[in-house]
Amino acid sequence: MRTLIDAIQDGIVIVDHRSRITFVNKGAETIFGHDAQAMIGQSLNMLLPEPVRERHQDYITSFLDEDRSGRMMAERAELSGLRADGTEFPAEISICRFDLNGAPRLGAIVRDVSARRAREAALEEALDQAKAAKEAQASFLAKMSHEIRTPLNGILGMAELLESGLNDSGKRHMAQVIRQSGVGMLNLLNDLLDMSKIEAGKLSLERAPVCATELAHRLEEIHAIAAEEKGLSMEVFLGSGCDLPRMGDALRIQQILHNLLSNAVKFTESGGVTLTISGRADQPLQIVVTDTGIGMTEDQVQRLYDDYVQADSTISRRFGGSGLGMSIVRQLTETMGGSIDVHSVIGAGTRIAISLPLEMAPAENSEQATAQAPEQTFEDRRVLVADDNQTNRELMTAMLTRLGITPVVVNDGLEAVNAAQEQDFDLILMDISMPVMDGITALKEICASRDSANLPEVPIVAVTANAMPHQVTEYIVTGFATYLAKPFELADLRRVLTEL
């Protein structure tokens, strides 16, 4: 029996009613660093750090005095042990009272958990480092988003104005290519940001009326250019119910459509691409993209949704791309509660079908979303524009001029405050990130000034590249009437002017 007990790696210590050690096994010798002869007859205190001795002694005394024969004090109770060299270590113990020859005894099984605690600490540190890395990545992407969206605003906006003002078809096509390339960069940026949010579990969806017909026509306009350059046909079929607004996130649905169409055009060298959207009022919205491209094997289809991975490693060299597209499509589809089905044949093409269970928009929202508002004129509107970026100032001036408005333009928030005190404006378009005084501070200054002078409020629009959902909420709570996310189109600016 002694051989069996000594084979146990955990320490076994038995004490009498005076807390004198009467027995230890080999495991206890190893754990505490004392040999058995040095421990037998000694107080249990020699194995306990000074701070816990008195408290532990009181507990042992009361435990031995009570009738608890055969009952465990606790399972895996934790305390600190004291080694022969004076170092402390974390231990788990189980204690049991029993009688030996009519005298009470207390037996303890002691386990040194130093190694486990070290592993747990290392794991916790690794998790903290991973969390910090994720936060740093998210912060970096958010900053890069702002830095990229600002020049993209100039590229896309000026390309749109240039395209609409050209009569020469060749030059107009060049402007279309510039715009299409900018849209491609913007969608890649959106994919990267959404992947970061998905990995962090922070992706949130908006719920607003969405018209599938409008989205389809917008995406067709963009991708038809790339299809035409490759000699491909592009057809869009809209079934019944597509013009009925549904509640959803227009930007994310547009991302799904963009990635599907972009891949279809990219991987098709002859033939064409077809987009079909359908869905009656009582049915999910069905999106189907079919192409006559290179197709995929079953194994490639299974790997299609892996992050940053394309179906074949040679594809990125031949066709380009980040490998993010279909992963984002799957993640966004599943986040919306939808499903995705892929059917592909090598050399024949691919068919991707997506079903999105989007509720129909309430009647009042439906009417607002589908109603064709009469074309408004804005010649009498007095508009102030505040932006520290020269390109953005020029773009905003050009767009407003196209809409019949001659704006007052300033370079920062402080100049905006001064201008608002000197003149009356019907609307202020305010950039958020500006030197001298930022847009939020300028808003507060303008509102306070007008309030003290008993002047009516003037609607102020946040024009910003920082348009994450939580940031937009902050703008609205602060007092902005609405927001305009960079990059924006002429139609977006017209919508804001119409609403305000």
Angle between helices 250-266 and 212-229 (to 10 degrees): 20
Contact present, 222 and 185 (Cβ < 8 Å): no
Largest CA distance in the chain: 111
| Second-level CATH architecture of 127-204 | Orthogonal Bundle (1.10)
Residue 383 has pLDDT above 80, yes or no: yes
Per-residue pLDDT tens over the stretch 170-198: 888 888 888 878 887 887 787 777 777 77
First to last CA, the chain: 90
Q: Hey, CA dihedral for 492, 498, 499, 500, is it positive or negative? A: positive
pLDDT at 134 (0 to 100): 78
Which of 152-166, 394-408, 454-468 is predicted most confidently? Answer: 394-408
Q: How far apart are CA 216 and CA 288, in angstroms?
A: 12
Top pLDDT among 141 and 465 is at 465
For residue 382, what are its two tokens? 């007095």
Neighbouring C-alpha atoms within 13 Å toward the C-beta of 42: 14
Residue 353 has pLDDT above 60, yes or no: yes
Per DSSP, the three-state class of 2 is: helix
Non-local CB neighbours of 108 within 8 Å, separated by 6+ positions:
11, 12, 13, 14, 15, 93, 94, 95, 96
Contact present, 340 and 353 (Cβ < 8 Å): yes
To the nearest 10°, report the CA torsion of 266, 246, 152, 188: -40
For the domain spanning 376-499, the CATH number is 3.40.50.2300
pLDDT at 178 (0 to 100): 86
Per DSSP, the three-state class of 165 is: coil
How confident is the model over 51-78, as a mean pLDDT? 66
Interior angle at CA 465, CA 464 and CA 469, nearest 5: 85
Contact present, 256 and 225 (Cβ < 8 Å): no
pLDDT at 317 (0 to 100): 44
Top pLDDT among 304 and 475 is at 475
pLDDT at 196 (0 to 100): 72
pLDDT at 350 (0 to 100): 92
Residue 57 has pLDDT above 90, yes or no: no
pLDDT at 354 (0 to 100): 94
Grade residue 51 by pLDDT with cuts at 50, 70 and 90: confident
pLDDT at 316 (0 to 100): 47
DSSP assignment of 298-328 equals HHHHHTTTSTT--SSHHHHHHH---S-HHHH
Residue 439 has pLDDT above 90, yes or no: yes
Phi, psi of 205 (to 5 degrees): -110, 140
Give the lowest-confidence range in 71-80, 310-319, 415-424: 310-319
Top pLDDT among 204 and 495 is at 495
Residue 429 has pLDDT above 70, yes or no: yes
Give the CATH number of domain 208-372; options: 3.20.20.70, 3.55.40.20, 3.30.565.10, 3.10.129.10.
3.30.565.10
Q: How far apart are CA 71 and CA 35, in angstroms?
A: 29
**What integer best gives the mean pLDDT of the chain?**
84
For residue 51, what are its two tokens? 């701070």
Q: How far apart are CA 438 and CA 410, in angstroms?
A: 13
Residue 371 has pLDDT above 60, yes or no: no
Per-residue pLDDT tens over the stretch 303-346: 777 654 554 544 544 444 445 678 888 888 998 999 999 999 99
Give the lowest-confidence range in 254-268, 298-312, 381-395: 298-312
Non-local CB neighbours of 117 within 8 Å, separated by 6+ positions:
90
Neighbouring C-alpha atoms within 13 Å toward the C-beta of 209: 18
2-112 belongs to which homologous superfamily?
PAS domain (3.30.450.20)
Relative to beta strand 246-248, strand 208-210 is antiparallel
How confident is the model over 243-257, as a mean pLDDT? 89
- The amino acid occupying position 121 is A
Tell me the percentage of the chain whose pLDDT exceeds 90.
38
Q: Where are the beta strands (DSSP E) in 50-138?
A: 77-82, 88-100, 103-112
Q: Identify which of 360, 367, 365, 366 has the alpha carbon closest to the alpha carbon of residue 281.
A: 360
pLDDT at 500 (0 to 100): 83
pLDDT at 68 (0 to 100): 52
For residue 444, what are its two tokens? 């507060």
161-166 long-range contacts (CB < 8 A, ≥24 apart) are 161/395, 161/398, 161/399, 161/402, 161/490, 164/490
Contact present, 427 and 458 (Cβ < 8 Å): yes
Grade residue 97 by pLDDT with cuts at 50, 70 and 90: confident
pLDDT at 167 (0 to 100): 83
pLDDT at 417 (0 to 100): 95
How confident is the model over 374-390, as a mean pLDDT? 84
Q: How far apart are CA 429 and CA 480, in angstroms?
A: 10
Relative to beta strand 383-386, strand 408-410 is parallel
The residues spanned by each domain of the chain are: 2-112, 127-204, 208-372, 376-499
pLDDT at 480 (0 to 100): 94
Grade residue 438 by pLDDT with cuts at 50, 70 and 90: very high
pLDDT at 322 (0 to 100): 47
Q: What is the DSSP letter of 488?
A: -
Q: Which residues pair with 234 in a beta bridge?
A: 273
pLDDT at 66 (0 to 100): 61
How confident is the model over 275-279, as a mean pLDDT? 91
Q: How far apart are CA 466 and CA 462, in angstroms?
A: 10
Per-residue pLDDT tens over the stretch 122-149: 999 999 998 888 778 777 877 777 788 8
Top pLDDT among 168 and 317 is at 168
